[in-house]
Amino acid sequence: MTGKLCTGFGRQGYVDLNEHTGNTLAGFVGPTSPPVVMRGVVVQPTGQVRDGQERAAPSGVVRGYDAIDGSLRWAWDLGRPETTRLPPEGEVYTRGTPNVWTPMAADDELGLVYLPTGNASGDFYGKERTPEEEEFTSSIVAVDASTGRVRWHFRTVNHDLWDFDLGPPPNLVDWPMPDGSRRAAMVQATKAGPVFVLDRATGEPLLPVEQVAVPQGTDHGDWTAPTQPLSPGMPNTIGQPDKDIETLRESDTWGISAFDQLICRIQFKQMRYEGIYTPPTLQGTIAHPGNHGGINWGGVAIDLQRGILVMNSNRLPYTEHVYTRETMDEMGIVSIFRGKSAVPDYMAQAGLPFGAKKEPWMSPLETPCIAPPWGYITGVDLRTQEVVWRRPLGTGYDHGPMGIPSRMKFTMGTPNNAGSLVTAGGLVFIGAALDNFLRAFDTETGELIWETRLPAGLQAAPMSYEVDGRQYIVAAVGGHERMDTKLGDSVIAWALPTR
């Protein structure tokens, strides 16, 4: 092994993922999902397409390449289901289609690759989506690894207006059935809150899925789906992880002073909120959960030996506003690829009649407008689907009001992003929170067993490996700019002392 490029693959060792996507702008697209290699095919999505900027965004096409020579085997272009390889001469794959930005999963026995999709371009305005975009937005799509043909799909949100794209990757498990048998299953967590359990050969729900009536109507002409799918048999992450769904009340508004609590309470009265799936409006809407989740990237971890699913989740409402194109023009909000906007959190949605703004619902003193916990880690029994333990995840040690770290290790639960690692020894290793710590919890009880200080934020899932019989835990400690955790460039490994 030399580490040299395999020049017989693609063009001198490379395949250009921008090819035929319509992307000519630096930063619009970036591969964020590693490929799946199965049955001689390298399956690779376009990757992350920058949210909310332009309706005519680069295509979310997923392609399969020959694992030996890099030639194109197939393409899944949502706008042209009859197109299995290249688009027509002089054209590109369909622009603005839902993209796959989170890790995929694959079942070699079934020959299926599972694609968690995002939104069609224009996260907070969906009236102009095509029927295909409506059907496949925020869905788990099973495609044949050899041909790219769709075998089945399951949509987790109807007419998604909240940016509830599938950030959590799917988990493939042997699910314990009531009769003692096991079924080849997929667990799909969501930013919207529900956790779905599906047969991974057919997409059939193994636990009931109910279509529940939700708030209706907008004040800007978009339409709303009459129902949304929920999974009542599994705990959800709409608030505290539980089978109940948290609905906020005016009395839930909170602040560290009477002043900022009052501001939050006024905002609650001014904006629209009628529970889950309250649509975005010109008036302004409180979204709970917000588009951060629920469960975001990293997803859940499952200890099959103990039959426990571990999930870390957020309890952080967002505010969502829709703005007319005239208002966006008056504010000077344009696509960041056509001119840098100096106003954060706005989504230009160029090419659509409306732009949008999303941001965490925060007080003037920069604390969430509801009381903590704002983040949890939870253990769920696979056999009973009941919560067996739950605790807040994270402290204010590195964050506080007005951005001032408290330097106190009071466990209150913070927003979090990243996955966890479960080990055969019965431990859950996780960073994810807004403080710079790696922690280990008992998988069966949730008891904190160990923690260590880090030089930066840990917004990546830890991994484990073994050398000469000694087990190591390793993590990429890089922080995350948008979460305002400390940035770094460390890769750190830990192990028990040698005897």
Long-range contacts from 87-90, C-beta under 8 angstroms, 24+ separation: 87/20
Residue 183 pairs with which residues in a beta bridge? 175
Task: Reduce the DSSP state of residue 15 to 3 states and report it.
Answer: coil
- Annotated catalytic residue, options 51, 163, 260, 398: 163
How many CB atoms within 10 Å of residue 112? 22
Q: Give CA–CA dist 199/182, Å, rounded.
A: 11
Calpha distance 21→136 (Å, rounded): 19
Name the 3-class secondary structure at 326.
helix
In this structure, how many other beta carbons lie within 10 angstroms of the beta carbon of residue 412? 16
Return phi, psi of residue 480, to 5°.
Answer: -150, 120
Q: How far, CA to CA in Å, does 96 sit from each of 280, 327, 351, 484?
A: 21, 23, 11, 29
Based on the residue annotation, tell me whether 163 is a catalytic residue of this protein. Answer: yes
Quote the Cα angle for 104-107-108, to 5°.
125
What are residue 113's DSSP bridge partners?
A: 106, 143
In Å, the largest CA–CA distance within the chain is 70
How far apart (Å, rounded) are the C-alpha atoms in residues 251 and 418?
31
Q: List alpha helices for 39-196, DSSP H.
A: 131-136
How distant is the alpha carbon of residue 441 from its chain centre?
A: 23
Contact, 29 vs 48, CB < 8 A?
yes
Residue with tokens 């426990």: 308
Non-local CB neighbours of 497 within 8 Å, separated by 6+ positions: none
Fill in the DSSP letter of residue 263.
Answer: H
User: What is the rounded CA–CA span in Å between residue 341 and residue 344?
Assistant: 8
Q: Which residue has the tokens 């090819």?
A: 19
Task: Find, among 150, 62, 164, the residue nearest to 119 by Cα.
Answer: 164
Q: Which residues lie across from 185 on neighbouring strands?
A: 173, 199
**DSSP code of residue 57:** P
Structure tokens at 79: 């706008």
Distance CA 163, CA 38 (A): 31
* Ramachandran area for residue 111 (φ above 0: left; ψ -120 to 50: alpha; else beta): left
* Residue numbers annotated as active site: 163
